[in-house]
Amino acid sequence: MSEIKITFVSVDGEKSVEATARVGDNLLTIAQVNDQPLEGTCEGQMACSTCHVIVDTNDFDKLPEASEMEEDMLDLAAGVKRTSRLACQITLTQDLDGLTVRIPSESHNMQGF
């Protein structure tokens, strides 16, 4: 299976981590494997919004549209932007090679402090 690159940008925009993923991987899983502070409390059940990420505007249109349920959950997330998505709902495709997402400042991992 082909590999793709994903870049995670930190809250302050200063640090970025380039991760390698495979087509078919889930974005939340890749974020967690690469030590990004996304809690993903409900493990992809769309019952939390702790996997909220802000997608780079250049990449946003490459993603399939969010479902109504995802939109509803995003309404509850803090610091939502026009290009916000739930990472657990994004399955990586070849088209998403080079995807850049930012971890919003509100999604601190409480246990990390």
Minimum CB distance to ligand FES, residue 14 (Å):
25
Q: Does 88 bind ligand FES (CB under 6 A)?
A: yes
Minimum CB distance to ligand FES, residue 2 (Å):
25
Q: Which stretch binds ligand FES (CB under 6 A): 9-17, 40-48, 59-67, 102-110?
A: 40-48
Residue whose entry in the numeric block shows the structure tokens 């967690």: 32
Sign of the Cα pseudo-torsion (74, 99, 33, 29, in order): positive
Minimum CB distance to ligand FES, residue 55 (Å):
14
Q: Does 6 bind ligand FES (CB under 6 A)?
A: no
Amino acid found at 108:
H
Beta strands in the chain (DSSP E): 3-9, 16-22, 52-55, 84-86, 99-102
User: How many Cβ atoms from other residues are within 10 Å of residue 35's Cβ?
Assistant: 11
Residues near ligand FES, by CB under 6 A: 28, 40-44, 46-51, 73, 86, 88
